Chains A and B, each alone.
Chain A
Amino acid sequence: MENLIHMIGAKFNYIAYIILMMIGLYALIAKNNLVKKIIGMSIFQTSIILFYVSTAYKTGKAIPIVEHGHGAHSVIHATDYINPLPHVLMLTAIVVSVATLGVALALAIKVYRQYGTLEEDDINSQIRIQAGK
């Protein structure tokens, strides 16, 4: 038991990302409102960012900017700085998620213009009525 608690304590960031991701996934699957689904999608993508960034962290080390950058005569030790690569990757993922969000909202506006509602079951019943005609 103590072992388990220690384990959770040492990996709480990974558990947090999984919980966030599952909240997003649940909203994507179960919510009826399209905007709520879009919000769920954003949470889902953000959780992955949390995951990557937490892999970069090293306890007690500096941000990845070399101190006294120019004219530094001292040798740079990689162990003094946190890992920069996941941050770079996540900058890309953030931009991608913003772009996806923009396109999703544009599509939601189009859907609203078409059906006058964002509730998925309302839309589906409208489609069924149209198909029945």
Chain B
Amino acid sequence: MKITGLVTVIICGALLIFYAMDFPDFGDGTSPASTYLSPYFIEHTIEDANVPNIVTTVLADYRGYDTMYETTVVFTAGLACFFLLRRKESQNPPARFYRHTPTGITLRIEEGGKLPAEGSKVFMRIDSLWAPDSLIIKNTCRLVIAFIQLFALYVVAHGHHSPGGGFQGGVLLGSSIILFAISNDLRRSIKRFNEKTSAILGALGVLLYAGTGFLCLLLGAHFLNYKALAPIFRSTAAMARSHGILCVEIGVAFAVMAVMIWIYYNLSSAGKHDEGL
């Protein structure tokens, strides 16, 4: 297998490099790729959608249809991880670990054993690979999470003017919850942001995107033609496009955030949602 791989790779690589020699030079501004379509996008972004960030305009408007499916791909991945991995906990869970907080003794309760009451102050459920809580990690994360979320909202809202947008902001929002799950434990995180919320919010985010497009269709324009939303936003066509882009970016942010958390829950606990990283 190693030799087959090496031979394939060398042949493919040599062919690719041979043909790469005909490419335009790196940084060449006169290649067809830079002179045919892209000047239109650059020169008309303000006039068409009133958005200075050209990548945002192309992403959510000129090629907004691609981006809708891109969001759907994210949602699909979340759904796929759930579908493949999730298993409900059986009636008799396998051995669990509890810590008697006053004494610091760890109890291992065998399968079928009597478990302490839910929400007990004295017994704390711990992971099988448990390390004592670190004061520094917990408090640093507690401090940082709020700022991560604030920055995420800024990234989502400011995608029109600076690098950013729904995907980036959504990932940041998701990572703040994942950070909470890592610094505390998975169960506490699921209590705050449970599976149902993440599943429904993920679908809702994509629905917000597709729904915005569908609304345009219902208003008589083509799918995703935000111009049709002008009467709703009481604005000019260009501003309607700008607002439409914001709507779909928010949808993307919700979807990406929820799905990232959902994937993390399923992957980190192998679908059991009891203990993870």
Contact = CB atoms under 8 A, between A and B. Distances in A.
Direct chain A–B contact by Cβ atoms under 8 Å: yes
A99 B85 contact: no
B20 to A, nearest CB: 4
Interface residues of A, number: 59
Given A69-B161, A99-B73, A84 B55 contact: yes
Interface stretch (B3-11, B211-219, B229-237): B3-11
B4 A55 contact: no
A55 B23 CA distance: 9
Contact of B8 (A12, A25, A61): A25
**Interface of chain B: mostly helix, strand, loop or mixed:** helix
A102 B263 contact: yes
Contacts of B41: 84-85
B39 A65 contact: no
Interface residues of B, number: 62
B77 A98 contact: yes
Contacts of B26: 10-14, 54, 57
A26 B42 contact: no
Among B12, B34, B271: residue with most chain A CB under 10 A: B34
A128 interface: no
B29 interface: yes
A18 B172 CA distance: 31
A59 interface: yes
Interface of A: 7, 10-15, 18-19, 21-22, 25-26, 29-30, 32, 54-61, 63-67, 69-70, 72, 76-79, 81, 83-89, 91-92, 95-96, 98-100, 102-103, 105-107, 109-110, 113
Interface of B: 1-2, 4-6, 8-10, 12-13, 16-17, 20-21, 23, 25-29, 31, 33-34, 37-39, 41-43, 45-46, 50-55, 58-59, 63, 66-67, 70-71, 73-74, 76-78, 80-81, 84-85, 161-163, 167, 263, 266-267, 270-271
Sorted nearest first, the 6 A-B pairs with minimum C-beta distance are A69-B52, A30-B5, A78-B39, A99-B77, A59-B27, A29-B5
